[in-house]
């Protein structure tokens, strides 16, 4: 039997290093959650009604159900993706009442009466939204997992610029924001692409922005 | 996530009363921090009181020429308000330097003030943490503490407050308006809102049980050049290693609050007398009592250099 190697590292240092690895991201400790229907069933379902892609929907959900899980598991709208499930990656981005949010960090029961648009509501294979067509044209993805979130986010970003909302990189806070590459990159920073298709994503968004202004 | 019951509050006083009388109750507004922590079972409320429907989402002019920001005003709406952009630029800049577009669209003014630390040992439920589990100890002090506090720390906790917005509000002398379970209101100066950790790091603010934030007020604009400088590990969407909120006047006087270094936004009014002498003199006084760890000692010179950069920005604007 080989002699055990004596490691020159204390338990404390080892724990510190483990935590340090987790710390490289925005927030450590992130892990995706199972849908509540796969956890212990709740005794207290709550009713909620909202509009998804123009259709009224009424659901009975466990209070713990996020909007993301309601869309994917209860309504079978699986275009919206679960990435980190902690608001760090943006794969779950949907548009609620005209504003993009992380659907993983909001409860379904908090959306009574809201208008929700998912990737399925923006366009369909036979009738693509201009942003979807631009992502295809510019190859704005590789594996495609982050793409629905990227596209929902990009559509809302152009509306935010039109509404005059400044960003961290806007040189003048009181002037209307400009449609520069730096602006688009800053505004899209909540959507992570593991394949690194960022430059093509920025080109796709710039093309749509250019044709709509 | 642990089970909980849920209700939509009908009035601010009712929400405060319900929060006080219901064991394990918590308010939920944007939910971007609370739900993250609930998924990790760091927060385990038994009852959630949704305060989104209470009409607290307006920004109004006050009689003395300031602004009253409703507790539920979203970070995006606050940063984009033209009055804030013109007269309180440091606040717009701080908000826009934080989180992502999606999160700013959901996160609220009051929720931002109440967000929990991002100390990795607070997040790792397998580690001791006096903030998460009082009395269990602090794994951060001898652990990986690069991002953590250098001043106002204690033997129990070296966590930092992660907010950018609060640092700007500290420089602007904001006040936090609240209502309690009996309908009584009060205003808490931002300087007295966040506590230092001491030996009770789990108590982070001076709010009483059930007390609900209804608004944050800003005093009349003080003019000057507004600068928010944030130093972080990537160019966007990361918490600050060090941040500087500065309102600087032409005669060299001004106000400077610093983020990323303490359990609350760090401002020492007496030190501001040294601002005309430059960043070195000011920072030496601001951080005179600092007790950094080996991992985060770099924050001391980094504060000085970031303040110098902010002073330089102000001169060029």
Chain A: residue whose CA lies nearest to B4: A63
* C-alpha–C-alpha distance, residues A141 and A200, integer Å: 8
Residue-wise pLDDT for B1-13, tens only, equals: 999 999 999 999 9
Residue B129 reports pLDDT greater than 70: yes
Show residues of chain B in contact with A47, CB under 8 Å. none
- Quote the CA–CA distance of A66 and A109 in Å, as a whole number: 8
Domain tally, chain B:
2
Residue A35's pLDDT is 65
pLDDT digits (tens, 9 = 90+) for A89-99: 999 999 999 99
Exposure of A74 by Cβ count < 10 A (0-12 exposed, 13-18 middle, 19+ buried)? middle
CATH top class, domain A44-122: alpha beta
The rounded mean pLDDT for chain B is 97
CATH number for B260: 3.30.390.50
Q: How many Cβ contacts (< 8 angstroms) between chains A and B?
A: 154
Which phi and psi angles does B202 have, rounded to 5°? -75, -15
Q: How confident is the model at residue A21 (pLDDT cuts 50, 70, 90)?
A: very low
Q: How far is A167 from chain B (nearest CA, A)?
A: 6
Task: Report pLDDT digits (tens) over B130-183.
Answer: 999 999 999 999 999 999 999 999 999 999 999 999 999 999 999 999 999 999
The string of pLDDT tens digits covering residues B86-100 is 999 999 999 999 999
A115 near A50, Cβ under 8 Å? yes
Chain B CA closest to residue A41: B3
Q: Is residue A150 less than 8 Å (CB to CB) from chain B?
A: no
CB proximity A207 to B under 8 Å: no
Domains A44-122 and A123-213 share a fold: no
Q: What is the spatial order of strands in the sheet that B225-231 belongs to?
A: B225-231, B242-248, B254-259
**Residue A89 vs residue A10, higher pLDDT:** A89
- The whole-angstrom separation of Cα A68 and Cα A102 is 8
Residue A48, phi-psi category: left (phi > 0), alpha (psi -120 to 50), beta (remainder): beta
Longest dimension (CA), chain A: 73
* Residue-level pLDDT at B317: 84
With an 8 Å Cβ cutoff, are A33 and B79 in contact? no
Closest CA of chain A from B270, distance in Å? 30
Both tokens assigned to A10? 């204390």
pLDDT in tens, B40-56: 999 999 999 999 999 99
pLDDT digit string (tens) for A97-130? 999 999 999 999 999 999 999 999 999 999 999 9
ipTM > 0.95? yes
> Would you say residue B255 lies in a domain?
yes
User: In chain A, where are the structural domains located?
Assistant: 44-122, 123-213
Per-residue pLDDT tens over the stretch A136-153: 999 999 999 999 999 999
**Percent residues over pLDDT 70 in chain B:** 100
Strands B175-179 and B185-189 come out as: antiparallel
- Asked if residues A93 and B102 have their Cβ atoms less than 8 Å apart, the reply is yes
B88 belongs to a structural domain: no
Q: How far apart are CA A175 and CA B115, in angstroms?
A: 31
pLDDT interval class at A22 (50, 70, 90): very low
Q: Tell me which residue range forms the domain holding B244.
A: 225-316
- Give ∠ CA B256-B260-B261 in degrees, rounded to 5: 80
Give the C-alpha separation, A206 to A28, whole Å.
Answer: 33
Helix (H, G, I), strand (E, B) or coil at A14: helix
Length of chain B: 317
Provide the token pair at B182: 């009996």
Kindly report the CATH number assigned to the domain that includes residue B33. Answer: 3.30.43
Q: How far is A1 from chain B (nearest CA, A)?
A: 33
CB contact under 8 A, B79 and A101: no
Å between A208 CA and nearest CA of chain B: 19
**B127 and A CB contact within 8 Å:** yes
Distance (Å, rounded) from C-alpha A192 to C-alpha A144? 12
Which residue of A42, A156, A165 is in closest CB contact with B80?
Answer: A165
CA B258 to chain centre: 11
Task: Report CB contact under 8 Å: A164, B80.
Answer: yes
Determine how β-strand B47-50 pairs with β-strand B25-28: parallel
Q: DSSP of B180-199, one letter per residue?
A: -TTS-EEEEEGGGTBPP-TT
Q: Which residue of B has its CA nearest to A187?
A: B101
Cα distance between residue A98 and residue A163, in whole Å? 12
Q: Do A15 and B127 touch (CB under 8 A)?
A: yes
Question: Which residues 184-213 in chain B show a CB within 8 A of chain A?
Answer: none
Look up the CATH superfamily of A123-213. [2Fe-2S]-binding domain (1.10.150.120)
DSSP output for A120-168: HHH-BTTB--HHHHHHHHHT--SS-TTHHHHHHHHHHHHHHHHTT---T
Which of 77-106 (B) contact A at CB < 8 A? 79-80, 82, 85-86, 89, 92-93, 96-97, 99-103, 105-106
Q: What is the pLDDT of residues A150-194, one digit of tens each?
A: 999 999 999 999 999 999 999 999 999 999 999 999 999 999 999
Chain B residues with beta carbon closer than 8 angstroms to that of A36: 1
Does residue B197 belong to any structural domain of this protein? no
- Mutation target vs A (from B4, B35, B165; most A CBs, 10 A cutoff): B35
Residues of chain A with Cβ-Cβ distance to B29 below 8 Å are none
């Amino acid at each position: 039997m080989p002699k055990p190697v004596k490691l020159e590292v204390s338990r404390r240092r080892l724990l510190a290093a483990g935590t340090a690895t987790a710390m490289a991201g925005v927030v450590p400790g992130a892990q995706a959650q199972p849908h509540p229907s796969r956890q212990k069933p709740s005794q207290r379902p709550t009713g909620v009604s909202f509009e998804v892609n123009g259709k009224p929907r009424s659901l009975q959900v466990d209070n713990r159900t996020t909007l993301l899980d309601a869309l994917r598991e209860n309504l079978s709208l699986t275009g919206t993706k679960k990435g980190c499930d902690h608001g760090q990656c943006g794969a779950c981005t949907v548009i609620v009442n005209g504003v993009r949010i992380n659907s993983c960090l909001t409860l379904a029961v908090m959306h009574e009466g809201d208008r929700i648009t998912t990737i399925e509501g923006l366009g369909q294979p036979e009738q693509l939204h201009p942003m979807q067509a631009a992502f295809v044209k510019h190859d704005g993805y590789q594996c495609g997992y982050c793409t629905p979130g990227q596209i929902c986010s990009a559509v809302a970003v152009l509306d935010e610029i039109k509404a005059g909302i400044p960003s961290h990189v806007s040189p003048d806070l009181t002037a209307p924001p400009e449609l520069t590459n730096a602006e688009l990159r800053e505004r899209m920073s909540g959507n992570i692409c593991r394949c690194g298709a960022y430059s093509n994503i920025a080109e796709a968004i710039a093309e749509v922005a250019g044709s709509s202004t | 996530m642990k089970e909980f019951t849920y209700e939509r509050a009908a009035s601010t006083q009712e929400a405060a009363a319900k929060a006080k009388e219901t064991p394990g109750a918590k308010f939920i507004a944007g939910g971007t921090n609370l739900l993250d922590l609930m998924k990790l079972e760091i927060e385990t409320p038994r009852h959630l009181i949704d305060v989104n429907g209470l009409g607290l989402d307006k920004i109004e002019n006050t009689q003395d020429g300031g602004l009253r920001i409703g507790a539920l005003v979203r970070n995006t709406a606050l940063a984009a308000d033209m009055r804030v952009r013109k007269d309180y630029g440091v606040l717009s800049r701080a908000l826009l330097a934080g989180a992502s577009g999606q999160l700013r669209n959901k996160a609220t003014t009051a929720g931002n003030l109440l967000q929990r630390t991002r100390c990795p040992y607070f997040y790792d439920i397998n580690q001791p943490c006096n903030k998460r589990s009082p009395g269990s100890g602090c794994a951060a002090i001898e652990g990986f503490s690069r991002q953590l506090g250098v001043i106002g720390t204690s033997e129990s906790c070296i966590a930092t407050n992660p907010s950018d917005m609060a640092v700007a509000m500290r420089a602007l002398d904001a006040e936090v308006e609240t209502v309690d379970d009996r309908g009584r209101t009060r205003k808490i100066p931002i300087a007295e809102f966040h506590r230092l950790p001491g030996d009770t790091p789990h108590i982070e603010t001076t709010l009483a049980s059930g007390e609900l934030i209804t608004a944050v007020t800003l005093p009349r604009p003080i003019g000057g050049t507004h600068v928010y400088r944030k130093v972080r590990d990537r160019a966007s969407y990361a918490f600050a290693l060090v941040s500087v909120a500065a309102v600087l006047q032409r005669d060299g006087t001004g106000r400077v609050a610093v983020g990323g270094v303490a359990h609350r936004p760090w401002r020492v009014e007496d030190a501001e007398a040294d601002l005309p002498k430059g960043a070195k003199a000011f920072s030496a006084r601001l951080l005179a009592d600092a007790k950094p760890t080996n991992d985060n000692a770099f924050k001391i010179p980094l504060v000085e250099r970031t303040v110098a950069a902010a002073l330089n920005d102000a001169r060029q604007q």
